[in-house]
Amino acid sequence: MRFVFFVFTISAISMFVLAEEETTPPPRVYPVALPNYDEETATRLQIFLDNSDFGPGKIDGRMGEFFRKALISYKHAHAMAKTGAVDQWMLDQVPVTYTTYTIKDEDLKFVGNVPGSRAEQAKLKWLPYTSLLEFVAERYHSAESYIQKLNPGKNWEHLQPGETLKVPNVLPFEVEKFTEGKVPENPAFASRKIFVDTYEHLLEVFDQDQLVCVFPITPGSKTLPAPVGTWKILGTNVWPWFRYDEGMLN
């Protein structure tokens, strides 16, 4: 199993890094079997974990790989028994499982056609959502199929401003509030370390020895693997630009 620091992106933030001395990776805590919770319980737990920065993957009301890893990681980080027992106080943090979202006229500017080839995509200033369903699903950190399940009878090919959808009651990703530029330095983060586990596909943030965040990621591929090593973060950017290099991609 390997752990790395490398250039990465979470949501709309990229981090610039340089190589540094080796750091000991954290112990693994994931191999714990969990039950299949009912949909309501699973959704509330996923919302709780997401709001706590222990990302369970897409909210879908079902047990899955990253849901399991996030729950066990949270329990490990807070010195709780690493079992599948449902802790009522977690559920109490999500007293209302669902809320609603009404599509607005201004949401349409984030939706458009995306070319199929990377070369054509590279000519665009930014890549839009391909549908209002995708826009709403990402806003509420959910699988598109789950949004569809929560809203039977909707015409998904012709959603319109003014329509209201039932969605998980998670802190939303409000894309319209992000502005391009560098993120100001925060001295409180100087003691933090980020571990990227290319085997488990997880990013973990530690403050001293305390695990404070866990997020699922895609750390490269077999043809373009993540650069293994230890790195120092120099800064972060919102809405980073990515250079298209056909030679590297091929």
Residues in the chain: 250
Compute φ and ψ for 133, nearest 5 degrees.
-60, -45
Helix (H) or strand (E) segment spanning residue 52:
none
Q: How confident is the model at residue 13 (pLDDT cuts 50, 70, 90)?
A: very low
> How confident is the model over 114-164, as pLDDT tens digits?
998 888 888 888 899 999 999 999 999 999 999 999 999 999 999 999 999
Q: What is the value of pTM for the model shown?
A: 0.86
Taking the CA atoms of 85, 214, 142 and 97 in sequence, report the sign of the dihedral they define. positive
Range from 53-62, 67-76, 80-89, 207-216 carrying the lowest mean pLDDT? 80-89
Report yes or no: 56 and 70 within 8 Å, Cβ to Cβ: yes
- How crowded is residue 212: how many other Cβ atoms within 10 Å of its Cβ? 14
Q: Does the pLDDT at position 12 exceed 60?
A: no
Across the chain, mean pLDDT equals 86
Type of residue found at 113: N
Question: How far is C-alpha 127 from the chain's CA centre?
Answer: 18
Radius of gyration of the chain (CA): 19
Compute φ and ψ for 215, nearest 5 degrees.
-140, 140
Domains and CATH numbers, the chain: 3-92+182-249 (no CATH), 98-168 (3.10.350.10)
Tokens of 6: 């490398």
Q: Give the contacts of 53 (CB within 8 A, at least 6 positions apart).
A: 212, 213, 214, 215
Tokens of 230: 């230890």
Report yes or no: 139 and 173 within 8 Å, Cβ to Cβ: yes
